[in-house]
Amino acid sequence: MSCGHLLLLPLALAAMGDCKGPPDWREPEGLSRCAAGPELSWEAVAVPGWVASDPPGGTKSRRGRSISRTRHVELLVVADFSLYQALGSDIREYLLVLFAAADRLYRHPSLASDVRLAVTRILVMRHSSEGPEVLQEAQQTLHNFCEWQRQMRARPEWAGEKYDAAVLLTRE
């Protein structure tokens, strides 16, 4: 698989075949996306504030955007035993780099919202008996993870823990 550049375009620009992006667009450092081939080298993503029927730079005016304020999403990141086995002692660094990249993606200038991701805690399951039961069926694994997380939050040692969302990473 070959890698191309990351570019998020409003649907109106993509439909016109203009893949250059906005005039002030510049490629963020270190970000790339994988593409299956040259015909798929760009993807169009709907961006709030753009109206598909309005041509960019045309005479019609765009709808006004509401003033965006920064939204912070605090994350609990849980790595299961299979991921720990695969990454070993490098797992914390890997997870921090992964979520730093995700944070940068949310800061892309073509996105209308200002979302910041912050990892508040990382839990690594170093034994197969720890953590939620991870199964081949994703729905059951999600249920197990939600139940496990609810039980963890009820513990006294978790009384001061604060996070908005929990993420389970596994190789299963």
**CA-based nearest residue to 5, from 36, 31, 23:** 31
Whether 20 and 82 share a structural domain? no
Question: What is the pLDDT at residue 65?
Answer: 55
Q: Is 94 part of any domain?
A: yes
Asked whether residue 51 is domain-assigned, the answer is no
- DSSP 3-state percent helix, strand, coil across the chain (nearest 5): 30, 20, 50
Q: Is residue 130 part of a domain?
A: yes
The pLDDT value recorded for residue 136 is 84
| Digit-coded pLDDT (tens) for 55-111 | 444 444 455 555 567 888 999 999 999 999 999 888 999 999 999 999 988 888 887
Q: Around Cβ 169, how many Cβ atoms within 10 Å?
A: 18
Residue ranges in 25-163 assigned as alpha helix (H): 81-87, 91-106, 138-154
- Asked if the structure places residue 162 within a domain, the reply is yes
User: Is 157 found in the same domain as 111?
Assistant: yes
Q: Which two tokens stand for residue 5?
A: 């550049």
Domain that holds residue 100: 71-169
Tell me, what CATH number does 103's domain have?
3.40.390.10
Residue 52 lies in a domain: no
Q: Give the total number of structural domains in the chain.
A: 2
- Same domain for 83 and 151, yes or no, is yes
pLDDT at position 29 over 90? no
Cα gap 24→12, rounded to integer Å: 17
Do 83 and 159 belong together in one domain? yes
Looking at the structure, do residues 38 and 83 belong to the same domain, yes or no? Answer: no
Compute the average pLDDT of residues 117-141: 89
Whether residue 79 sits in one domain with residue 25: no
The larger pLDDT score, comparing residue 134 to residue 27, is at 134
Q: Indicate whether 38 and 82 sit together in one domain.
A: no
* 55, 61, 134 from 66: Cα distances, Å: 21, 15, 42
